[in-house]
Amino acid sequence: MELTLTTPALLFPAISLLMLAYTNRFIVLAQLARDLYTEYRKEPNIILSQQINNLRRRIKIIRSMQLFGALSFFFCVMSMFLIFAGTMILAHITFGLSLILLLASLGFLLAELQISINALDIQLKDFESDMSEKVK
């Protein structure tokens, strides 16, 4: 495969947008964690405790998503430097590593999405139990 300076450069917008999305997810979860903690301090219950534990797991996964995304970006830039320096074998290796790290980051994203779905499920079950009690 021919590797030119433009090949790794194609990943820049994708990685940058992913990092922005990951950061936004982190900010939203951090605020939600603060809100749930405040609510839990006022009135502790098992649902809030489950949600807080869920958030803790999601925040750890998002940290991994960000780490692997940043490393992917680093190795992408490194491969461009190596192409510029004319060391094509190392450039291919670092670009391949960049792609692998990006895949790992996306894998963590899928795991975080699954946990997010579970969190919504907890909320919906609580809502359904409240509704069934009010109907009786």
| Alpha-carbon torsion, ordered 66, 69, 106, 82, to 10 deg | -170
Buried b (16+ CB within 10 A) or exposed e, 36-51: beeeeeeeeeeebebb
Residue 128, C-beta contacts closer than 8 angstroms, at least 6 positions apart: none
Query: Whose CA is closest to 58, among 22, 17, 104?
Result: 22
pLDDT (0 to 100) of residue 121: 85
Structure confidence by residue, pLDDT tens digits, 41-89:
999 888 888 888 888 999 999 999 999 999 999 999 999 999 999 999 9
